Amino acid sequence: MKPRTQSIDPFSALADASRREVLRLLSHKTFTISDLAANFSISRPAVSKHIKLLEEAGFVKINEIGRERYCILSQDGFIAMQEWIDYFDSFWKLRKKKLESVIRARMTEHENS
């Protein structure tokens, strides 16, 4: 598995309506943090905090160009969500093998008794 830098649970990151709104806006175009903040009634520091969290969860990347900070979408967060499902898929496949060996042991025990 590729190393990832995000440290926030992507599911938690998407649980907030403001953060989903940030992603929706970024799906149209790249925004600076100030331009993004202009779209919200909450304070700019609050918006910054949401963006920071989205960045940590791998949904957003921030590029500094000159004095401006531009936000763009990143797919790492989405990949992390997929990996989480894949983890359970493999988890269950492995459990199936274990169950089969438990069953085999019990069937043999039964036949011999």
Partner 1 sequence: MTKEIVQLWELDAPPELVWQCLTDTNILSEWLMPNDFSPVVGHEFMFHTRPRPLPPFDGKVYCKVLEVVEGKKLSFSWKGGPGDGSISLDTIVSWTITPAGSRTNLLLEHKGFKGMKNYLAYFFMNVGWQKSIRRRLIETLKTYEATHAVN
Residue ranges in contact with partner 1 by CB under 8 A = 4, 6-7, 9-12, 14-15, 17, 20, 23-24, 27-28, 73, 75, 78, 80-89, 92-93, 95-96, 98-104, 106-107
Q: Nearest approach, Cβ of 113 to partner 1 (angstroms)?
A: 14
Q: Show the 3-state SS of 26-84.
A: HCCCCEEHHHHHCCCCCCHHHHHHHHHHHHHCCCEEEEEECCEEEEEECCHHHHHHHHH
> Would you say 25 or 33 has its CB closer to partner 1?
25
Q: Nearest approach, Cβ of 84 to partner 1 (angstroms)?
A: 5
Q: Nearest approach, Cβ of 67 to partner 1 (angstroms)?
A: 26
